[in-house]
Structure 1
Amino acid sequence: MTFQLSIQTPFNAASTAAEVMAGVDLTGQLAVVTGGYSGIGLIIAKSLANAGAQVFVPARDPERARAALADTEGVSVAAMDLLLPDSIQAFSQGIVSGGQPVSLLINCAGVMATPLSRDTDGHEGQFATNHLGHYRLTCGLWPALVAADSARVIAVSSRGHQIAEVDFSDIDFRRRAYDKWVAYGQSKTANALFAVALDRRGREQGVRAFSLHPGQVLTDLARHLTADEITAFDVLDEHGRPRVTPEAGLKTIEQGAATALWCATSIELNSMGGVYCEDCNIAPINESALGRKGVAKWAINADFAERLWTLSEQWTGMTIA
């Protein structure tokens, strides 16, 4: 078990993807990056490929993905939609049948603060996309992850997890009124709990899992927000340009990608797992302050993680062996 205690690392809140990846050689390794064709995910996918990895980017819009990644060698795009179980299964089977181990799985795709929607099974859309889709993908790729002998699964969570824990009595907002931010917070808590439960199951097979907050970066993830909502976050200066104060969590896109890349490649994390990270380090526990550095206790609670895993097994019909 790894505890939420900071470790010695040469990086900090202002570190960039290029700084984290300097000297990293991933030649011969296979990585899968969801959301790898826009925002932070695009930087992650390109950084891994530039370090020598073969990178697969599953995409709901393959044409857009190929255009975004056209200038990067070593990246392949395939169709996949996190809300469609059959498409996840088809992508996973394609990777596993290829016979090459998967060393890195970066679950970066996601949606934020969307209007109420549901998947084909009736599950709330943000939870279904951000958690259940990635749960299915990880289970589908499990044989290839184990075959790597030393693999890492990275769940890109958010400081937004501090908004809400998982409401196991009504995850899908059947009885309570839908709140897009509560739903988002719940899904990001689920990302962190997923890493806790996955790491417990995978560490004996050489698969470690981490979750993280990338920082506040204004990307296409904010496409469902109004101009007034964006203004309320105070992420823009008087000229309408993004503020950059890494220590306060406001980062460039290259800084936003750094922690995920650090979790994926850092030798400092060898023999560790199941922790929530930010600013290229293991994050402290946040006791109560919403919107501040650290992880809420409910997002690393082992009992909650097991409860979520069991429910995910029931709802998807999938698990790992």
Structure 2
Amino acid sequence: MRVEPSARGAVEDRTLLRERMRAVLDRAELRVPQESLHHPAAVETVHLVQRALRTGPLGPDRLQSFSERLDRVPPAPVCAAAAPQGHLSRSVARALRSVPARGADSPTVTADVVEWEESERDVLEAALGLLQRVLPRNAAELRATVVEVALLGGAAIDGFTDFAVHGAVLVNRSRLLDSPDGLPGAVRCAEALVHEGAHTRCNAAAVAEPFLLPDGAGRAGAEQSGQLLVATPLRADPRPLAGLFQQTVVLARSVLLYRALAPEPFPDPGPAAVGARYAKLLDGARQAVRTLAAHPDSLTPHGRTVLAECAAVTGEPVRDGGYVPEDSGPGGPA
């Protein structure tokens, strides 16, 4: 995987995942049509089958239950708006359990999968069209990577991906609205697709070629007693290096999106809002690169290559996998 999107690379990642899913199903003597195998509902079932096989061969009742689940999986669509479904609701429930605890006086944390309104479908189509025009390689990778785009209600979660339902991205419906400062809803939706699509691609790519060494490898002293947690630009709570790595890629790709959007003839105050958003994303990307580059011994050679590419996007000077503290930076949209 590289920072520059690649549909071909995404297909290669998907092929490897398909082979591994097939191997799990073959062990259980289960089948699913080829056109359904990449559907997030099928992915969820394969995860469950794999977990069940750890305790031994599956009995007739479990085999029948899994077979019926797989029979209900439809052919996988391509980056399509998804209606509320069981596998998506279960994914949201898992995501809610990972939301940091809030104070007793804070409002109840809620999120759920909701139906798409026609106007929201129009924004999604506009966002995909915008990406096809300004970043066609990213649009092509999304078509090879993302199966379902699910819409979230509630204020607890802006968006997320979940490897247990790989191929689904979940986006809060608020990210389809114009922002108060004039950033168009289609632009915000396009950013959400680039953001969640990058997470999806990273999740698959890491299966083929990890970005990070196993936890503890390459680190010495007290850090080896537990998982290293670091500050990140996109989360208030400290995150493991794996989370920071994905944030770095996400932010670098988002910076590339807003650079490509700079010449677009948005009505006022759109251009100013695009510039402001670009500046904020670039600042976050630089922060992510600096923090990640401070831990070069935790990265694989592949991870160091991707970090160097992120650094090149942001203008942060990284040499031999480590951070070089000096001022540097490219231009961007006005």
TM-score > 0.5 by shorter chain: no
Q: Highest CA radius of gyration, 1 or 2? A: 2
Q: Which has the higher contact order (CA 8 A, sep 6+)?
A: 1
TM range (shorter): under 0.3
**TM-score (norm. length: structure 2):** 0.27
